[in-house]
Structure 1
């Protein structure tokens, strides 16, 4: 039964097929939501939150992931306004709003008066895709990480996160949870790195994946090794491995102001297909 006059209700396991048809309308942009649906069966206890769906004439036309992140899925401006109205009825429980720019902009405008000042907003994040062989030569030394690498890998992940987000993932007692996440990605074969004489000099992870795409996160080179081409060759290697063994398309989104990273991704062959935005609390 629909729970609001707008035709919005939480989705569950019986809605999985309809939800996957929705994400398949843009399967690369929607890879996070697709991944979450497939791994949780849309069960709230596994989602750690809810997946809202908006219906018109009984058909699912848009959705919104509501967990640690608020992520609109195939949401028009009208859909986003409707999801914002629903979000206002429960208060802010998310740490970020992230997704396609226009939907995020409308969502944020709808809740801004009640949710308070965000810690940071990033409005023009290019969403990039690579669906063919990389244009740059791959670094043959890049490999999947193992537990033996954890002493080098974990501090690098903390440094990358802190540099990117502006706050340490260990802040407020989060070290155990973050270490578990790093280890989880490693165990899945989703963590890649290059080591020189035992020191990590490049890393990247797959954040989420579906049969259609894999989204890369956490690309990082130590500050004293930047400018050597490690990110270009490293990302070419990661893209080859991911496309061969995980999903046919590799995607990521990058901050608009990060010119060196954007230049590196373009050299590898990534092309912009959309614009994302992120609001962080």
Structure 2
């Protein structure tokens, strides 16, 4: 198969390919809707054809974007489609713009990683996409949108969450860039805080969205407050709010993080696509 950057005249083909599974491809559909195939500076859309001109795989590859859980220092690739096509995309990116992180459907990511030459990963996580279309009954936290005065706390909690998940504090390489990313998220109203009797206990970031679906991430509860059901209560409240605008809420989580998986399932999320997070 042959891989190459995609031109704008193939937008409909890309949209049709991704729309085969809109839950799994929410990030890519949102990126396509927001930026188009050539609308974001520094980003590439790369596709692979089957030899007869039919598009069978795509990947967005570019500079990091200010999304929940994404470190500001990594180059990111998000693939979808036929595994052999994804491998061809990896082989194309390898000598030109090798990503430092790959996230997406497991089979597609593993194939793209092989196309990169199967470099030794620093992180190799089995993740799972979860989808919620109806909130489970149970307690809810009081919820509010983070404001400017909350930025120091949100910076601290966001960095702590990334350090737990990715084993690296994003402030080590680009502290001001990370703070700028968090300030932008707060300014745009995409950070939610959950309240209990003893103050702020829960944080959640609202990420990419497309038509009737939205992706969330960056879930954080203070270690001293874990094991009390606060993450579940916070997710229920967040989904209540998001369902006023969207029909579904998605997230992906490391399958080995059993407390987080249990919290999401108690909030009403159901298991969906197997994902991979690989980083070097």
Q: TM-score, normalised by structure 2?
A: 0.88
| Higher mean displacement: 60-69 or 136-145 | 136-145
> What is residue 112 of structure 1 aligned with on the other side?
117
Question: Structure 1 residue 206 and structure 2 residue 206: aligned?
Answer: yes
Task: Quote the offset at 1:189 in angstroms.
Answer: 2.2
Q: Report 1:1-281 matches (<5 A).
A: 6-43=1-38, 46-56=40-50, 57-67=52-62, 68-73=75-80, 75-90=81-96, 92=98, 94-113=99-118, 116-122=119-125, 124-132=126-134, 134-137=135-138, 139-172=140-173, 174-196=174-196, 199-245=199-245, 247-281=246-280
Q: Once superposed, what is the RMSD of the aligned Cα atoms?
A: 1.9
Flag structure 2 segments of 5+ consecutive residues without an equivalent: 63-74
Change in Cα spacing, 1:199 to 1:12, as seen in structure 2 (3 Å) is farther
8 Å contact 1:129–1:273 — kept in the other structure?
A: yes
Runs of 4+ in 1 over 4 A off after TM superposition: 196-199
Change in Cα spacing, 1:156 to 1:200, as seen in structure 2 (3 Å) is farther
Task: Quote the offset at 1:268 in angstroms.
Answer: 0.8
> What is residue 3 of structure 1 aligned with on the other side?
none
Q: TM-score, normalised by structure 1?
A: 0.88
8 Å contact 2:141–2:230 — kept in the other structure?
A: no
Cα deviation 1:142-172 (Å, max 9, x = unaligned)? 1211112212222111111111111001112
8 Å contact 2:151–2:186 — kept in the other structure?
A: no
8 Å contact 1:152–1:199 — kept in the other structure?
A: no
Secondary structure of 1:148's counterpart equals helix
Return the alpha-carbon distance in structure 2 between the equivalents of residues 42 and 153 of structure 1.
32
Secondary structure of 1:127's counterpart equals strand
| Higher mean displacement: 215-224 or 151-160 | 151-160
Task: Quote the offset at 1:88 in angstroms.
Answer: 2.9
Change in Cα spacing, 1:137 to 1:12, as seen in structure 2 (3 Å) is farther
Flag structure 1 segments of 5+ consecutive residues without an equivalent: 1-5
Return the alpha-carbon distance in structure 2 between the equivalents of residues 96 and 235 of structure 1.
27
Return the alpha-carbon distance in structure 2 between the equivalents of residues 147 and 230 of structure 1.
24
Cα deviation 1:46-66 (Å, max 9, x = unaligned)? 152200122344443321111
Change in Cα spacing, 1:23 to 1:138, as seen in structure 2 (3 Å) is farther
Task: Quote the offset at 1:183 in angstroms.
Answer: 2.1
Task: Quote the offset at 1:199 in angstroms.
Answer: 4.3
Q: How many corresponding residue pairs?
A: 267
